[in-house]
A and B are shown apart, each in its own frame.
Chain A
């Protein structure tokens, strides 16, 4: 049983490391800042979670494992906020994305039963 846990954790850690390296390679290969961010998000989602899962198996049912859960939660709540802020900062700085297709002008179908008073509610402003 201990051996199984040992090998399972190392398989997870090795897989996680593989995705970290793949993400890093992607950051080098991609042509512009926006596409590089997509490569980076492989690192902080799949790479990081597999690594932490592997470490959790190593830690067993202890407080350390619980703290690793907090690390994951931190990554999953702050990661997208940071990515969003970075992408928006790049757009504000007028860094033109390399695009194959630009559908920003497309008509978005309206949704029935909308509450207009909530319209501005979705602002996720990193400055606040």
Chain B
């Protein structure tokens, strides 16, 4: 199932990037896709981490939410930069990632890094080490609003894992 999805996704990607629909280029594309899928299959990376199909439906809503967060914090960091007093208060903190899967924790860590003003500097198990440019940014993460949002986004993957266990 995942393998078929991977093949379709790669085919669409090829068609979108190529833009030339001659028989030669199409067959070259087909060969490339078959080789890639076969390789991925033999490497055993066609799993919920490598091809997270479950997330496709929930992804647009999550990305939209994340983008709003990015815009808000990018604006506040810009105001910090343009403030003549440069009122920064760099803070290091540790937060727990409440996600159940590796892909979920990676999503949370990357979302923290993508949001201007906070960077994940280390991951140890489910403890993330975060550097924030103002202590308020660290406070927000400690309260765990983003953690819960990522966990909800991850929800679909977590249920499939439970079924396996």
Q: Which residues of A contact B (CB under 8 A)?
A: 19, 22-23, 25-26, 29-32, 34-35, 37-39, 41-42, 45-46, 49, 63, 66-67, 70, 76-77, 79-81, 83-84, 87-88, 91, 97-104, 106, 108-111, 114-115, 118-124
Contacts and interface: CB of A to CB of B under 8 A. Distances in A.
A101 B91 contact: yes
B54 interface: no
B152 interface: no
Given A26-B81, A63-B16, A102-B92, A121 B105 contact: yes
B90 A100 contact: yes
B65 to A, nearest CB: 14
Contact of B93 (A103, A110, A121): A103
B90 A84 contact: no
8 closest Cβ pairs, A-B complex:
A122-B105, A26-B81, A80-B113, A121-B102, A46-B74, A100-B89, A103-B93, A80-B110
Interface residues of B, number: 53
Contact of A46 (B16, B71, B131): B71
22 contacts: A26-B77, A29-B86, A32-B90, A34-B121, A37-B119, A38-B119, A42-B77, A42-B81, A46-B70, A46-B74, A49-B70, A63-B19, A80-B109, A80-B110, A87-B120, A97-B131, A101-B138, A102-B91, A106-B93, A108-B127, A115-B100, A122-B109
Contacts of B99: 122
Nearest to B137: A38
Interface string B91-130: 1111111111110011001110111111111110111010
Contacts of B101: 118, 121
